[in-house]
Structure 1
Amino acid sequence: MRKYETIFILHPTFEEEVVKASIEKFKGVIENGGGTIDNVDFWGKRKLAYEISKVNDGYYTLINFTAGPELPRELDRIFRITDGVLRHIIVKEEK
C-alpha cells in the first residue's frame, strides 16, 4: 500500500449539496477500490490561479489516502468522466 494525495477543483456554479455529493462519490471510489482515506480537507470556493474555460473560481478539495498502485488510475478515470471537475491531480507522497 502506498500513500497518495489528490486535489480536485469543482465548478463554482454547483450547489453546496452537489459539491458534498461529489466529494462523497470520490471518497466512495477510493474506499470501494480497497483504499483507506486518511484525511479530507475541503478548502471551499477559491479564486483560480488562471482562467479555465472562462471560469475564475472553483471549489477545492484535498484528499490524502492509502491505496494499491492500481487505484490512482481508476480514480483518474473517474475524475476525467465526471462533469464539473475543472482540474485534478493525484500524487504519490514521498517517504
Structure 2
Amino acid sequence: MNKYEGVLIFKTDLSDEERNSELDRLKGIIEQQGSILEVDEWGKRKLAYEINYITDGYYVVIQFEAEPQHIREIERRCRIADSVIRYMFVRKDA
C-alpha cells in the first residue's frame, strides 16, 4: 500500500450535517481497500480563484493508505459528487 494525501474542497452553502455525511461517505470508500491515517479540517477559506462563481470553500485534508488502482475509484466518486468543488490526491514519498 502507498501513502496518499488528499485535499477536498466542499461548497460552503452545505450544512454541517450534509458536509459531514458526504465526508463520511468518501471516507467509507477509502476504507473499503485502505485505511485513513488522519483527517484535518481546515474550515472555510477563500479560494485562490473563482470557480463557477464560487469564491469560498470548506477545506478538508485526508492522509490515508491505499492501493494505486483504488485512487481512480475515489477520484471518480469525487468527480460526480455535487458537494465537492475540487479535489486532489497525491502520493507521499516514503
TM-score (norm 2): 0.96
Deviation at 1:70, TM superposition (A): 1.0
Amino acid at match of 1:94: D
1:80 counterpart residue number: 79
Counterparts of 1:29-40 in structure 2, within 5 Å, are 29-32=29-32, 34-40=33-39
Equivalences, count:
94
1:53 counterpart residue number: 52
The C-alpha deviation readout for 1:9-55, integer Å capped at 9, x for no partner, is: 011110011111111011000011x1000000011111111111001
2:69 counterpart residue number: 70
Looking at structure 2, the residues matched to 58 and 46 of structure 1 have their Cα atoms a distance apart, in angstroms, of 6
Q: How high is the sequence identity, in percent, across the aligned residues?
A: 44
Aligned-residue CA RMSD in angstroms?
A: 0.7
Instruction: Could you tell me which runs of 5 or more consecutive residues in structure 1 were left unpaired when the two chains were aligned.
Output: none
Deviation at 1:56, TM superposition (A): 0.6
